[in-house]
Amino acid sequence: MTRFLAFDTSTDVMSVALTDGVRVWQHTGPGGAKASTTLIPAVMALLAEAGLSLDGLDAIAFGQGPGSFTGLRTACAVAQGLAFGAGLGRSVPVLPIPTLWALAEEARFQLAAQGVAAPRITALLDARMDEMYVQWFDALSDIDPGQPVSGVQMIRPENLVVTPHDVLAGNVFSVYAQRLPDLAGLRCVDALPTATAMLRLAPALAVRGHCVPADQALPLYVRNKVAQTTVERAQVKADKLAAAALADEAVAPV
């Protein structure tokens, strides 16, 4: 299997990529809810540029989640629709790829370009609402997609446990800079789940049997609650103001 289409809309960045097994075409744009109107045109434009058709694909990979609730629904719906609409009286197989796995692969790829090996990566993705998703991956390499060594967890930044040899990757380092534990001495990689990372994972995951029929392709939700109430938002704001006031008192001259 060599011809894959991949896309991820789980974050604020929409990532689309296509390969014929030799060349790669890619596109980026606004993600999350904004991707609902731009994802399909971006896919069709890449197919036209590459001279490929939907019915010639071996599989359609999409960012399964966790991530933006609307973004995940968009990616899943588009993957199913494209797979069913490919023609030939059959649907193209769909390959759901967990977003944190794609994030870990993107970080591994970035480090490999610098000559740095990172067989174990802690993937961290901003979950909003003062929380983040975390998952650990082992044995990632350029010839093996590795495997998760834990399920996805959702934690508050201050509850992250790190060890001296951890390699951390994700989009949380600036967002939660004041709340993460001391990361001094640790290697931290700013990374997102990209479609090109998904293309690198796709062949091995397809061989492992991760492809599913289109009607069985589902998003991976970790949080059932996707928004805070007005009262909860007010409480979060009050807590932040109180914490800031305490911090000011702590540094104020006596």
Q: Is the pLDDT confidence value at 186 over 90?
A: yes
User: According to the model, what pLDDT value does residue 223 have?
Assistant: 75
Per-residue pLDDT tens digits for 112-167:
999 998 888 999 999 999 999 999 999 788 888 888 999 999 999 999 999 888 89
What does the alpha-carbon distance between residue 96 and residue 76 come to, in Å, rounded to a whole number?
Answer: 8
Predicted model pTM: 0.85
Can you list the alpha helix ranges (DSSP code H) found in the chain? Answer: 39-50, 69-84, 99-113, 195-207, 230-251
Whether the bond between 41 and the residue before it is cis, its omega within 30 degrees of 0, is no
Q: Is the pLDDT confidence value at 1 over 80?
A: no
User: According to the model, what pLDDT value does residue 83 have?
Assistant: 93
What six digits make up the tokens of 192? 């997102």
Residue 229 pLDDT level (bands cut at 50, 70, 90): very low
Range in 65-69, 162-166, 209-213, 243-247 the model is least confident about: 243-247
User: According to the model, what pLDDT value does residue 247 have?
Assistant: 41
Range in 153-167, 202-216, 228-242 the model is least confident about: 228-242
Bridge-based pairing of strands 131-138 and 59-65 is unpaired
User: According to the model, what pLDDT value does residue 143 have?
Assistant: 80
Per-residue pLDDT tens digits for 92-112:
999 999 999 999 999 999 999
Q: Which helix (H) or strand (E) holds 94?
A: strand 94-98
Neighbours of 198 (CB within 10 A): 29
Contact 220, 64 (CB under 8 A): yes
Instruction: Tell me the Cα Rg of the chain.
Output: 20
User: According to the model, what pLDDT value does residue 228 have?
Assistant: 43
Q: Which carries the bigger pLDDT value, residue 124 or residue 234? A: 124
Q: Which residue matches tokens 């998904």?
A: 198
